[in-house]
Amino acid sequence: MIAGIIGATGYAGAELVRLLAGHPQVDRLVLGSVSFEGDCIERVYPNFLGRVDAPLVKPEEVIAAADAVFAALPSGVGEAFAKICVEKKIPFIDFSADFRFDDDEAVYAAWYGKQYAHPELRQYSVYGLPELNRKRIIAGAAAKQVIIGNPGCYPTGASLGAYPALAKGIAGEGCIIVDSASGVTGGGREPSRSFHYPECADSVSPYKIGAHRHTPEISRNFEAMTAAKSGTGIRPVIFTPHLAPMNRGILSTIYIPLGEAWKSKNRITGAPRPPAKETEEKAEEIRSVYAEFYRDEPFVRILPADTLAATNRVRYSNFCDISVHLDQTGTTLIIATAIDNMVKGAAGQGVQNMNILFGFPETAGLTAIPASF
Amino acid sequence: MIAGIIGATGYAGAELVRLLAGHPQVDRLVLGSVSFEGDCIERVYPNFLGRVDAPLVKPEEVIAAADAVFAALPSGVGEAFAKICVEKKIPFIDFSADFRFDDDEAVYAAWYGKQYAHPELRQYSVYGLPELNRKRIIAGAAAKQVIIGNPGCYPTGASLGAYPALAKGIAGEGCIIVDSASGVTGGGREPSRSFHYPECADSVSPYKIGAHRHTPEISRNFEAMTAAKSGTGIRPVIFTPHLAPMNRGILSTIYIPLGEAWKSKNRITGAPRPPAKETEEKAEEIRSVYAEFYRDEPFVRILPADTLAATNRVRYSNFCDISVHLDQTGTTLIIATAIDNMVKGAAGQGVQNMNILFGFPETAGLTAIPASF
Amino acid sequence: MIAGIIGATGYAGAELVRLLAGHPQVDRLVLGSVSFEGDCIERVYPNFLGRVDAPLVKPEEVIAAADAVFAALPSGVGEAFAKICVEKKIPFIDFSADFRFDDDEAVYAAWYGKQYAHPELRQYSVYGLPELNRKRIIAGAAAKQVIIGNPGCYPTGASLGAYPALAKGIAGEGCIIVDSASGVTGGGREPSRSFHYPECADSVSPYKIGAHRHTPEISRNFEAMTAAKSGTGIRPVIFTPHLAPMNRGILSTIYIPLGEAWKSKNRITGAPRPPAKETEEKAEEIRSVYAEFYRDEPFVRILPADTLAATNRVRYSNFCDISVHLDQTGTTLIIATAIDNMVKGAAGQGVQNMNILFGFPETAGLTAIPASF
Amino acid sequence: MIAGIIGATGYAGAELVRLLAGHPQVDRLVLGSVSFEGDCIERVYPNFLGRVDAPLVKPEEVIAAADAVFAALPSGVGEAFAKICVEKKIPFIDFSADFRFDDDEAVYAAWYGKQYAHPELRQYSVYGLPELNRKRIIAGAAAKQVIIGNPGCYPTGASLGAYPALAKGIAGEGCIIVDSASGVTGGGREPSRSFHYPECADSVSPYKIGAHRHTPEISRNFEAMTAAKSGTGIRPVIFTPHLAPMNRGILSTIYIPLGEAWKSKNRITGAPRPPAKETEEKAEEIRSVYAEFYRDEPFVRILPADTLAATNRVRYSNFCDISVHLDQTGTTLIIATAIDNMVKGAAGQGVQNMNILFGFPETAGLTAIPASF
């Protein structure tokens, strides 16, 4: 098949190039770039020398040639391309937020400050978190006209971490807190003071507290994942992103109130005590639920009790590592998840979606073994 | 005066050497080391060449010569030295957990796995967080026999961040979550796999979830800071530390349930919305409470609305930077604090305590201006 | 085929596991470890979870099962295993220095402080730099009894950088200076103060100036690569390694005196001037010689004039990137080379040697496309 | 006194603010900025909050108020300000290259592509490397009209490293190679792709090989430092800068051909051998010459034999650390120097020059003790 990328020179685009160039079912890449049209990818990214050798063409040429089109563009830019692809029955995998909210245009508008240019396209769109929506993605493929709203990086790690607890009734009511640290590639390729080496090296800092655009996406996912839906329709979520001095990776620590059935019987009310044996046993029980829940998922790893999620163990891979913990008061489930923000958090998940759409093995092109260091 | 350090070659000890060697009231340092006795500090730490030139002697010689003794030793080792100092009326500033829990030996025993060797010493000990206990520290100085239990690094950042909210009734009931990221110097000087460069570079990972020893110290501080004490005597706390790839600094993000009076009237119940104007005004109001609360504190900085706490802006200084935020649901106060774990989180706070004990200006030796990068 | 690794839990061993587990011709791995015998690799390195699942067995079991044996052991330990493999006609690929010096035991003894245990094994050994010795490696394979002395990391980058200049008579007489910076994985898995995060983060420092063991290996290679050998038999070399705060990679800057024919006619003798057009043309000419020289090499990339060698563009790949420059005085060729010290500098080169020995495509298992970031 | 800074919001300017705000003889700062005029320094750099509180004014206001003026501007911009200051007899300390070449305008023009706007100002200018030119700086102060051409960062580390060898006849004839690695702050405050975190983290790369503007400054210094000047007037120099993933620091490795008297009698001509005892003794002898040469210099530290220059040991200080080595062939002196590029390489050296000009203790405001980590 021929894979096309519109916006191939941004970071998500370049990561797609890397993954698709090594994909066994992809025969050829057609790469589009507005900024570098007429140049070639290995000049913009010399890391590709000798491995990828492709001119950068207009978006229209990408669509004309490709069997599947990836769009790695800012929100609000790609709808016109999506429309053409739907008409031509070419699967369209979109990395912006344009197709993540289905027909909930109000939420999109509130957070992204834009209206949909082509609202009707949402009848073809599926939110592309395979672990949640695999059946819908397959149905989209069958329907021939399909747009994938590839998930945001933070929502991927947060949602996969909470999913079993929500679906299996381990989570009780109340606000879920997602506290995440991201590597600097999350800020994209465009230089700015925030991502200038001397300003972010050797430092950790939060940003956009209570105001990050991924908040509604996380909240909506949590609701969709919950067995018995809440009356209000929406799970309250607090999401705090941090910037950490690393290139890749998102570590999310998720605080989920336990349901009554799962709370400690001997709840500690006085001074905190080190974890009791009961706590460790209960954590192991929940760990088993998680392992069972994700048993057939090729990219989710439930870590053993003595191993905590760490971003360096998933680097350059499509894995989401999950470690399961309980706080010492016996009231709160604490989940830590690690993903590579550019792979499972962006390009890799896009390839996973393509694989599902085309009936390829879901791991095709995504078999990288994470390095030990 | 002559300042003595027992355990001068560990990281906290070496940082004390740096700060005290530049302290205007300190005439001489006497440095003790068991591992390097007979050697000299500038051989162990060549960064001191030309600035500090001192032999490493036995602990007994430190006590014999010094007007104040700092002990930077593991927990459970320093009590014997504390006893001698109390008898000789030499102020003893202890960096271990041995004197942080006052007479609550049960908590200490549960978390540190040890009994007090000399329980009676707690009549002389004060928990050395000056912003909370300055009066008690001064009283200790007046009594001539005084032991300072210098606070842990995480509890310092966590406690200073929550203090005004607890003392001024902004915080409501319920669990407070403290999510922190620490630089690698927090692990000390002894090489190990966890702190081996290739294992922790370019990666973020949590550790000891629900089981870190600083949990009871944070919880106890929160209770002590609360205006109307809770019936149970203890505020439930969840504390999650992370290791981040930086040398110094602790960034703590603290989630505090708002009291009813402070909660948003127009609470959002549906899909999350970007922060409302009301939210920003309320955050500004709380920021003012914080600024007023810490008005006379020389080492606490309340940041303006558009500036978030970042560890690189306090590096090598004794500052605790605090930024004040509200989540978009209007129910939770989110405080971010940044300290240098080796300064305000250890050696600098020790020097601050010494200054108070001796009646020096509280900022003496701690006037470093943080660098911009 | 079945590939065996003795010393699978050190850094070079773990990197071999990663590469061989993804190798299309390798059906199974047999992993040996003395330190972790009885455990399994995915417990020691949890990054392998779900991808590699192998027990750690005794070296003898590795040899008994494998069609090829890799030994990632300290110098002086593996000869006994090599002997058995030669007897059993199993190719033995050794990562220590034991088989890098052929029969020049005096040089080995002087730098490694040991005698050969089985000197007669050198009749079977080949220095495994494929770009230099491919024919000899193939001949070894044909002879059925073969030991590969896999090159050191620094010598690989240094030698590939100088080879065309030496072989094509661009280099004149005189000392060649190799100034290199290595990532911290080069120090191996064992924690020590030198590689303790807080001691080497955010810092560059040389080490073992004029005394590093790779010096004679580099010097010997330079001599072997030289068209008209010098009378003395050995090219004088100065080699200075540095430690740089990165995980992987070696950047070598190599200063080679130009032969008379290549020196600038209009040599600058007064104050330095910016590079003349003539200089740039001559550099381009030499760049062409380099490109031609390595035309058929799958892992050497000669960079275009405006692209300088950088370690991040070869990360996790088996590439050696080379950029070609002239100093402004017109007397010295300056070559910059970048390799991943764990891949082309160790495990990847070992796999490349295995591929040659077994007649696999030379790039089998080594097709990773370097990421852009 | 009142110190003024034109260009206070660039990196060199901000570092000057930090150092001068803590300077015991500086009563007040007047800060100029074109980009941020009307704002205040602690808004642009929140690290200054609570320590420095100063509006950003026009350059003219700086000159009107200050007793000494620092200009941290790009080359070719500050001459007009220098002219006014000379006329008003205000010492002018310039951080650009405009006053580093004395009256050698041809060299300046060739490398910086500009002509002097006011060539006559060079009668007042002194190249401000105190260790070389202290007497001339003092003479300038006496003359009341003085411009300091503050040295470049690379030339500072390179020149201090070679000075004793050149002045004491240890160096022989021939090209000196300076191979340096710099932290990213050297690139300044303006964001660009080269200094974008994901592009330079975890990587080492050379840049501007044979073409860096600091080459003629280094060459000129070497000539000025040489005891018996060469006939040609200029020492050939090869200078290669590298970018390393750290915030601050320059590590320079300098290869100096030994004079005949210093070369090894038993020169090694065959395969390299580990350093002989004779080599170590000779290195110690040269180390003594270096120590004696710099005996009275407050900011140069000659390291003992077992300690190599490392940038983390001079961080935030005005020290230049020097370690002295010989290569194993006995022909070349290898000097490693470490400076903080923003302190001794820029702002700190500027303050040192101010101290000399005003008769303050040379270490005033520069007494920072480097931290151990």
Please write the tens of the pLDDT for every residue from B52-101: 999 999 999 999 999 999 999 999 999 999 999 999 999 999 999 999 99
As a dihedral over the C-alpha atoms of residue C142, residue C143, residue C144, residue C147, rounded to 10 degrees, the angle is -100
DSSP of C202-237: T--EE-STTT-THHHHHHHHHHHH-SS--TTS---E
For residue C260, the model assigns a pLDDT of 92
Q: Which residues contact A285 (CB under 8 A, 6 or more apart)?
A: none
Cross-chain residue pair A197–D195, CB shorter than 8 Å:
yes
Whether A350 and A298 have beta carbons less than 8 Å apart is answered as no
Q: How confident is the model at residue A232 (pLDDT cuts 50, 70, 90)?
A: low
The domain at C154-340 falls in which architecture?
2-Layer Sandwich (3.30)
Architecture of domain B154-341: 2-Layer Sandwich (3.30)
Work out how many CB contacts closer than 8 A connect A with C: 88
State which residue of chain A sits closest to C201, comparing Cα positions. A202
**pLDDT tens digits, one per residue of C176-192:** 999 999 999 999 999 99
| Closest CB to A47 among C45, C247, C372 | C372
The tens digit of pLDDT for each residue in D91-138 reads: 999 999 999 998 789 999 999 999 999 999 999 999 999 999 999 999
Asked if A200 and D197 come within 8 Å (Cβ–Cβ), the reply is yes
For strands D320-326 and D332-339, give the pairing.
antiparallel
CA distance A162 to A169: 11
Interface test with D, best of A196, A203, A312 (most D CBs within 10 A): A196
Query: Quick check: C356 and C141 in contact, CB under 8 A?
Result: yes
Q: Give the phi and the psi of residue A361 in degrees, each rounded to 5.
A: -55, 135
Touching A (3+ Cβ pairs <8 A), the chains are: B, C, D
Catalytic member of D153, D175, D200, D320: D153
C-alpha distances out from residue A306 to A309, A327, B11, B192, Å: 10, 15, 28, 17
Identify all chain A residues contacting B202, using CB atoms and an 8 Å cutoff.
183, 246-249, 311-312, 315
Q: What is the pTM (predicted TM-score) of this model?
A: 0.97
Task: Provide, as residue numbers in chain C, all residues whose Cβ is less than 8 Å from the Cβ of A52.
Answer: 369
pLDDT at A227: 82
pLDDT for residue A37 is more than 80: yes
State the sign of the Cα–Cα–Cα–Cα dihedral D56, D57, D59, D65: negative
- Residues of B within 8 A of C200 (CB-CB) are 197
pLDDT on residue D231: 56
Q: Which residues pair with D334 in a beta bridge?
A: D255, D325
| Helical spans, DSSP H, in D318-363 | 348-358
Residue of chain D minimizing CA distance to B20: D369
pLDDT of B274: 92
Q: Any idea which architecture D2-151+344-358 has in CATH?
A: 3-Layer(aba) Sandwich (3.40)
pLDDT of residue C235: 84
Three-state SS for A328-356 is CCCCEEEEEEEECCCHHHHHHHHHHHHHH
The two beta strands, A147-149 and A92-94, are: parallel
Interchain CB distance below 8 Å, C15 and A313: no
pLDDT tens-digit profile of B158-171?
Answer: 999 999 999 999 99
Q: Given an 8 Å threshold on Cβ–Cβ distance, is B201 in contact with C11? A: no
Q: pLDDT for D133-181, tens place per residue?
A: 999 999 999 999 999 999 999 999 999 999 999 999 999 999 999 999 9
Question: Contact at 8 Å (CB) between D15 and D39?
Answer: no
Give residue B329's pLDDT: 83
**Mean pLDDT to the nearest integer, B137-149:** 96
Greater model confidence, D227 or B219: B219
Helix (H, G, I), strand (E, B) or coil at A127: strand
C318 to chain B, minimum CA–CA distance in Å? 19
The residues of chain C that CATH labels 3.30.360.10 are 154-340
Contact call for A368 and C22, based on CB within 8 A: yes
pLDDT digits (tens, 9 = 90+) for A259-299: 999 998 776 677 888 998 999 999 999 999 999 999 999 99
Taking CB atoms and an 8 Å cutoff, what residues of chain B touch C196? Answer: 189, 191, 195-197
Q: Tens digits of per-residue pLDDT, B286-345?
A: 999 999 999 999 999 999 999 999 999 999 999 999 999 999 888 999 999 999 999 999
Q: Does A301 touch chain C (CB under 8 A)?
A: yes
Over residues D354-363, mean pLDDT:
98
Q: Fill in the amino acid letter for A348.
A: G
Q: Which residues of A touch C21 (CB under 8 A)?
A: 369
User: C106-111, long-range: CB within 8 Å, 24+ apart, which pairs?
Assistant: C106/D271, C107/C216, C107/C220, C107/D271, C107/D272, C110/C216, C110/D273, C110/D274, C111/C213, C111/C215, C111/C216, C111/D274
Chain B partners within 8 Å of A237 (Cβ): 272
Residue D371 to residue B319, Cβ atoms within 8 A = no
Q: How far is residue A224's CA from residue A227's CA, in Å, rounded to a whole number? A: 8
> Is residue C97 a contact partner of residue C79, using CB atoms and an 8 Å limit?
no
Residues of A designated as active site: 153
Q: Which of B351, B339, B11 minimizes the C-alpha distance to B150?
A: B351
**Is A150 in contact with A93 (CB distance < 8 Å)?**
yes
What pLDDT sits at residue D330? 86
Mean local confidence (pLDDT), A238-250:
98
Please choose, from the candidates C338, C200, B189, C247, the residue with its C-alpha nearest in 3D space to the C-alpha of residue D308. C200
The continuous run of DSSP H or E covering B338 comes out as: strand B332-339
Taking the Cβ of residue A255 and every Cβ of chain C, the question of whether any pair is shorter than 8 Å is answered with no
The whole-number pLDDT of residue B265 equals 80
Q: Is residue B268 over pLDDT 70?
A: no
Active site residue ranges of B: 153
Where chain C has pLDDT below 70, the residues are: 229-233, 267-268
- A182, A193, A197: best to mutate for the D interface, most D CBs within 10 A: A197
Residue with tokens 């501080």: B221
- With beta carbons under 8 A apart, name residues in chain A contacting B309: 205-206
Least confident segment among B2-16, C220-234, D245-259: C220-234
The span from the first CA to the last CA of chain A, in angstroms, equals: 34
Helix (H), strand (E) at residue D333: strand D332-339
Confidence band, pLDDT 50/70/90 cuts, at residue B264:
confident
Compute how many other C-beta atoms are within 10 angstroms of the C-beta atom of residue D263.
Answer: 16
The reported pLDDT for the residue numbered A235 is: 86
**Range(s) of chain A covered by CATH 3.40.50.720:** 2-151+344-358
Please count the residues of chain A: 373
pLDDT of residue D230: 57
| Percent over 90 (pLDDT), chain B | 91
Residue B227: CB atoms within 10 A of its CB come to 10
Q: Does A141 touch chain B (CB under 8 A)?
A: no
pLDDT digits 0-9 by tens, D296-316: 999 999 999 999 999 999 999
CA of B14: which chain D residue's CA is closest? D372
Within chain B, residue ranges assigned H as helices are: 11-21, 41-44, 59-65, 79-87, 105-112, 130-142, 153-167, 197-200, 214-225, 277-293, 348-358
Contact A209 B334 (CB under 8 A): yes
> With the C-alpha atoms ordered D324, D182, C163, C98, is the resulting torsion angle positive or negative?
positive
Judge: C237–D325 Cβ closer than 8 Å, yes or no: no
Checking if the pLDDT of A153 tops 80, the result is: yes
Q: Is B320 helix (H, G, I), strand (E, B) or coil?
A: strand
Could you give the count of Cα atoms lying within 13 Å of A148 in the half-sphere of its Cβ?
38
User: Across chain B, what does the average pLDDT equal?
Assistant: 95
Query: Which residue of B183, B193, B197 is in closest CB contact with C200?
Result: B197
So what's the pLDDT on residue D234?
Answer: 72
| 3-class secondary structure, B237 | strand
Report CB contact under 8 Å: B191, C189: no
Which residues 223-242 of B have a C-beta within 8 angstroms of A?
Answer: 232-234, 236-238, 240, 242
D192-240 confidence digits (pLDDT tens): 999 999 999 999 999 999 999 999 999 999 999 998 765 555 789 999 9
Residue intervals in chain A for CATH 3.30.360.10: 154-341
